[in-house]
Chains A and B, each alone.
Chain A
Amino acid sequence: MLALVAAGAVLIVAVVLIVVALVLYLVSVIVALTKITRGLDEVIAGVGEIVQKSAPVNEIVTAINQQLDAGVDALEGLLVKKAGMEDAVGLVDGLYAGAAAVGFRNFPESTTVTPPRIAEIYTKGTLTLARLGREAPIAAANPAGPVLRNVEAGSLAARQLYPDIRQARPEHLPRSPVIGADAPVQYEQREDIGAPRKRLPSRIAATSNGPPASTRDA
């Protein structure tokens, strides 16, 4: 009988131990899952803000890209129209080395053009000035000839392309007039400028010919 009671007691102790272990670990798991839930709530809030803030980005960036594409199309078309395909490719390749291989976006045939060495012979603005008719000797040099200047640093050869007056240093040009309170030549302000006229010319004429009709009637 005593052995039976002892076996029952051991069974009860074993069950209690299992239940205690279950309670302890399950409570710990519940605490951990609660922390996870709170963290996921913060994640959902942050992701919601991200979705809300990034919602118009696609539309705006698409609109900006469309506008920039339109600008690129217009400028490419204008450049090719005004400079011609060959010079246009040469200009772009001179500004951005290697760009001729890529060519223009709307002109696939531009990739087959051998770019002339425009940027090595003329300064960047010379061709534009020549198109505008401002004295640039656009035909003075042969693009097939040697390079006229050091494209990285030198400017003397480029300046010599211009007429003599444009080569002159600024100190050789007449000085600009000095104005202001410290100017060597001071001009006194005339008092009659800006002041009310003393007598109108019509009134002078009327006075010399007698009083006006309204005055005489009165």
Chain B
Amino acid sequence: MFSYIVRRLGQMVLVLVGLSILLFILLQLAPGDSAQIMAGLGATPEVVENLRVKLGLDKPLYVQYWRLFSGLFTGELEAVTFSTTVVDIVADRLQATVELGLFGLLLAIFVSIPAGIISAVKKDSFADYAVTTVSMIGISTPVFWTALMLMIIFSIQFDLLPVSGRGATLWGWSFLTVDGILHMIIPAVALSSVMMAMNARLTRSSMLEVLSEDYITTARSKGLSERIVIVYHAFRNAILPVLTNVGMQVGTVVAGAVLTETTTAWPGVGRLMIEAISRRDMGLVFGLSLFIAIFYLMSYLVVDILYAYVDPRITYD
């Protein structure tokens, strides 16, 4: 396993280098001049040129690339928009995203997986219809609409929760304060709604497939209780596709629950990415994209490692 992890980490470095080159090319191809956009409408050619020099955009492309790539690892890459380094601004906003993503994901897992199991076990029952209908609605409903509806119902009509924002924090974490927790409920539920729906449907279909296998019939014929059959025999085999999906969702929530963060004014990296793109902050877009890529790659690695623990038939050595 150890050599597998080392090999995968080595591959990750290659992927990141390739990705950084691709990203740089895309940034060059994107329409719009960073210096011009930062200088604003009405800027004189001299002002734009001065800004271009300051941003290093007058240098040859390979110099510009190296400045971005090396700057990210030395921590000196500048997020010009915020007059700070990319590392600092990402660190500033990451806590909010991680916190929201984690709560949203946990909520999705703890609600959707039991719901999917019940739906499969009680196929064609009222519970099954209820889960499939609700999950269909969850998948079909845009996150921003869900968030706005939650705000109207729980903040405006019943005055139970704050409308938006992050509220009070302790050491940068919202979940350590009551005000912070109250602020997190609407964004976390909105964010989890789509994940919840997908996971419930995936769990249901995966469970249905496993429940029709011969080894389940054998387990039942041995006289094992239904609970043991479902939890230890069926669910353990059905969890692999769900695990893959959850792994992808980890990457997605860090990549930025852009719509959730924008609608609920949550100060995370999703919104930061939109701000960076709209202001053509090359350094910030570059750094943030690579950072998100690292998170994606790491979450896939963790999922692959978990496969081996969940299913002993899978080995990597």
Q: Do A and B bind each other?
A: no
Task: Give B contacts to A, CB under 8 Å.
Answer: none
Task: Give A contacts to B, CB under 8 Å.
Answer: none
